[in-house]
A and B are shown apart, each in its own frame.
Chain A
Amino acid sequence: QSALTQPASVSGSPGQSITISCTGTSSDVGLYNLVSWYQQHPGKAPKLIIYEDTNRPSGVSNRFSGSKSGNTASLTISGLQAEDEADYHCCSYADPATVVFGGGTRLTVL
């Protein structure tokens, strides 16, 4: 079970859009529609922001969106705000009956 691949860091200015990629394999990201994304502020537990590849839980800003193509999932944050500065983790269900995370991406709002 290898970790999913995410960029270590991304940055953007307020108001801009950024995209974080999450690359897996045909045994995880590419096989199931079960990619989820989590936002984590320093010292806090992760918070679910996207589930089942593209769905947003109630209460999560519509500035957050998820997509997927083949073995790569993506998280896009539009209209960047200072409060979006955090770590973002992707996660996928994987064969057999396991779960795998990405290495995490640190978002800096310039």
Chain B
Amino acid sequence: QVQLVQSGAEVKKPGASVKVSCKASGYSFTDYYIHWVRQAPGQGLEWMGWINPNTGGTVYAQRSHGWVTITRDTSISTAYMELPRLKSDDTAIYYCARVSVPVHSGSFDSFEYWGQGTLVTVSS
């Protein structure tokens, strides 16, 4: 069965960076786009960007451009999301999500599978 397993919770100080991992299993990793979505406490979902695991190509939300970096390591079927220069309002749960359609059908249809989420807390 398809699974996305994320790395554990992180506590960081303002100005530090964080890298969250998302290990995929149960399907061919390079066949489906992976997206990153975050949710601040008590807030809605915010899309951050996607990666084509086959090519490594990425697209980021305007707000995320030049700020978040999404990468992947195909040898271990894992995607990563890195945030530099953390601020307190980056405190959120970060999710990776896999789309429903294979890469040749486009970057997004819907998010069929989600990771369990990784809580990143930024506090001095």
Q: Which residues of A contact B (CB under 8 A)?
A: 1, 3, 34, 36, 38, 45-48, 51-52, 57, 89, 91, 93, 97-104
Contact = CB atoms under 8 A, between A and B. Distances in A.
Given A45-B95, A99-B35, A104 B45 contact: yes
Interface of B: 35, 37, 43-47, 50, 59, 61-63, 95, 100, 107-112, 114-117
A36 B109 CA distance: 8
B109 A34 contact: yes
A62 B40 CA distance: 31
A93 B35 CA distance: 12
A99 B44 CA distance: 14
B112 A48 contact: yes
B100 A97 contact: no
Is the contact region of chain A dominated by helix, strand, or loop, or is it mixed? Answer: strand
Given A91-B45, A102-B44, 8 more contacts: A34-B109, A38-B111, A46-B114, A48-B110, A48-B111, A93-B108, A99-B35, A99-B47
Contacts of A93: 108-109
A51 B111 CA distance: 9
Nearest to A103: B44
A74 B24 CA distance: 32
Contacts of B62: 1, 98
